[in-house]
Amino acid sequence: MVKRNRENIVSTFFLNPESLPVQSLADESPLPAERLSPAWLRQRFLRPPAWTPEITDEHALSTKLPFRAASVLIPIVMRDEGLSLLLTRRAAHLHHHAGQISFPGGRFETSDVNPVETALREAEEEVGLHRRHIDVLGALPEYRTGTGYQVTPIVSLVQPPFELQADPTEVAAIFEVPLSFLMNGQHHQRRAFDLPDGAGRRLFYTMPYQQHFIWGATAGMLRNLFHMLRA
């Protein structure tokens, strides 16, 4: 009964998080423009500084133990007008994270030799992004989700031109957001969800951009990219 109640709570919470009020803004300064270049990003991942990941309490909502291994690709596209981040909106019929904004990715398969291979394979399957366009820079710290996944975020640069083809069974839309927008703490909102029966409060980040509501695990991993690049 406890497990079922927790699953119902999580499902209800995932339905309409944008209706929750903004508690505060992270309000850190934007990432300096000189750090938003392919050359600088390559050097940062080659020689990463000491930095502290931001730990969320999202994993506390999970009823699935142990956590299942997964990877996502964080694809930074090298556009002439500046770097942008490629994101997807998940199909509405999916069991987990339906309709949410996410990175291409999925669970680890036994045929995958490492988390990078999982991310590359899933990106090609979900959005048709071929690995020949992808330059892997490195990985961010693992992120545990409320749906029971331990996710390795793989950061990469993507070289246009490329063609994309969404898998309609998983992806409803593909779009890009300027990296400069996402790497600005003034666009990082904090919202909160109160668990029933005094079980506590879950704080989470949102990064609304135009009609896209970026939140949850995707926003949490972007926060860690932000911390790593500004360290």
pLDDT, tens digit only, all 231 positions of the chain: 444 444 445 545 555 788 888 999 998 999 999 999 999 999 999 999 999 999 876 766 666 778 899 999 999 999 999 999 999 997 755 555 556 899 999 999 999 999 999 999 999 999 999 999 999 999 999 999 888 899 999 999 999 999 999 988 989 999 999 999 999 999 999 998 777 666 677 888 999 999 999 998 999 999 999 999 999
Q: What is the pLDDT of residue 198?
A: 67
15 located within any domain: no
Residue 11 maps to a domain = no
Looking at the structure of the chain, the number of domains it has is: 1
In a domain, residue 36? The reply is yes
- CATH number for 33: 3.90.79.10
153 burial type by CB count under 10 A (0-12 exposed, 13-18 middle, 19+ buried): buried
CA distance 88 to 170: 10
Q: Is residue 37 part of a domain?
A: yes
pLDDT of residue 81: 96
Give residue for tokens 């904004």: 101
Side-chain-facing half-sphere of 81: CA atoms under 13 Å: 6
d(CA 77, CA 83): 6
Domain annotation covers residue 70 = yes
The domain in which residue 110 lies consists of 27-230
Tokens of 94: 């999916």
Within a domain: residue 16? Answer: no
Q: Is the previous residue joined to 161 through a cis bond, with omega within 30 degrees of 0? A: yes
Residue 18 counted as domain residue: no
In a domain, 144, yes or no: yes
Residue 6's nearest CA partner among 62, 59, 65, 58 is 62
